[in-house]
Amino acid sequence: MKKTPLVIATTMIMAMATSCKDMYKKDGPNETPTEAVAVQAAPVQSIMTAEEQAGMTPDEIIGRLKKGNENFAMNNLTTRDHSAQRRLATIGQYPKALVLSCVDSRVPVEDVFDLGIGDIFVARVAGNIENADIVGSMEFASAVAGSKVIIVMGHSACGAVKHAIDATDAGGMGMASLQMLLDGIKPAVPAQDAEAKSSKNTEFVNEVIVNNVQRTVADIRDQSPTMATMEAEGKLKIIGAVYDMESGKVDFLN
């Protein structure tokens, strides 16, 4: 007997319904229940407020940054509504910290700490060293804008540190400004024999990276009595950290 199109369509719908029902059937104790469908949390739309910033201690902020880095290392970044955050941020900003990082393109600072618009200030310079402009920016972030943590963050395999170790003659190549930058890193390079003092010596490079971070932290305190006083009063923490590009993890030095 020839089936009408209506009969055919009805048969197909019943078959699909049966198939879908089977997909949600739990046949035994070892079967994974498919009725519980995971619901993705709504993207974060809010940004840091003045009240939230004021209510956080430096230690609490550092704890949140550590948790954010765990999220990044586990590839579990928070979903954010950047359009909504961008609009809210036009009203004002209340970042909880400033991170001084290298310019290296492989160090995405906000992602490294699972942060979004309005969460932190970021200053970047090759080799993550301080100068008057950087320290002035830190004073603005802390004494003016209310941030309570300053982080100097170096990173593994830093090219600027490697060139400082190898005593690259940037000035001789017509790059006087780069030479000044490398000269600012050189005090972190300890005296070693020629074989050890090489950018090919990973252990030595890592030592210099840490030394450079710690020297920068000390220099910031020396160059800014305002921030040094804020730290002594418990209103601010200036700390060092090193980001490992392979693991995605940040090692806080202090």
Predicted model pTM: 0.82
pLDDT of residue 6: 40
Q: Please indicate, yes or no, if residue 198 is contained in any of the structural domains.
A: yes
Q: Please indicate, yes or no, if residue 45 is contained in any of the structural domains.
A: no
pLDDT of residue 84: 85
Positions in the chain short of pLDDT 70: 1-40
Q: Please indicate, yes or no, if residue 55 is contained in any of the structural domains.
A: yes
Q: Please indicate, yes or no, if residue 12 is contained in any of the structural domains.
A: no
At 171-212, the pLDDT tens digits run 999 999 999 999 999 999 998 777 789 999 999 999 999 999
pLDDT of residue 186: 96
Q: What is the total count of domains within the chain?
A: 1
Q: Please indicate, yes or no, if residue 92 is contained in any of the structural domains.
A: yes
pLDDT of residue 32: 42
Which H, E and C letters describe the chain, residue by residue?
Answer: CCCCHHHHHHHHHHHHHHHHHHHCCCCCCCCCCCCCCCCCCCCECCCCCHHHHHHCCHHHHHHHHHHHHHHHHCCCCCCECHHHHHHHHCCCCCCCEEEEECCCCCCCHHHHCCCCCCCEEEEECHHHCCCHHHHHHHHHHHHHCCCCEEEEEEECCCHHHHHHHCCCCCHHHCCHHHHHHHHHHHHHCCCCCCCCCCCCCHHHHHHHHHHHHHHHHHHHHHHCHHHHHHHHCCCCEEEEEEECCCCCCEEECC
Q: Please indicate, yes or no, if residue 203 is contained in any of the structural domains.
A: yes
Q: Please indicate, yes or no, if residue 238 is contained in any of the structural domains.
A: yes
For residue 222, the enclosing domain spans 50-252
pLDDT of residue 154: 98
CATH number at residue 165: 3.40.1050.10
pLDDT of residue 89: 87
pLDDT of residue 34: 42
Q: Please indicate, yes or no, if residue 43 is contained in any of the structural domains.
A: no
pLDDT of residue 38: 45
pLDDT of residue 193: 78
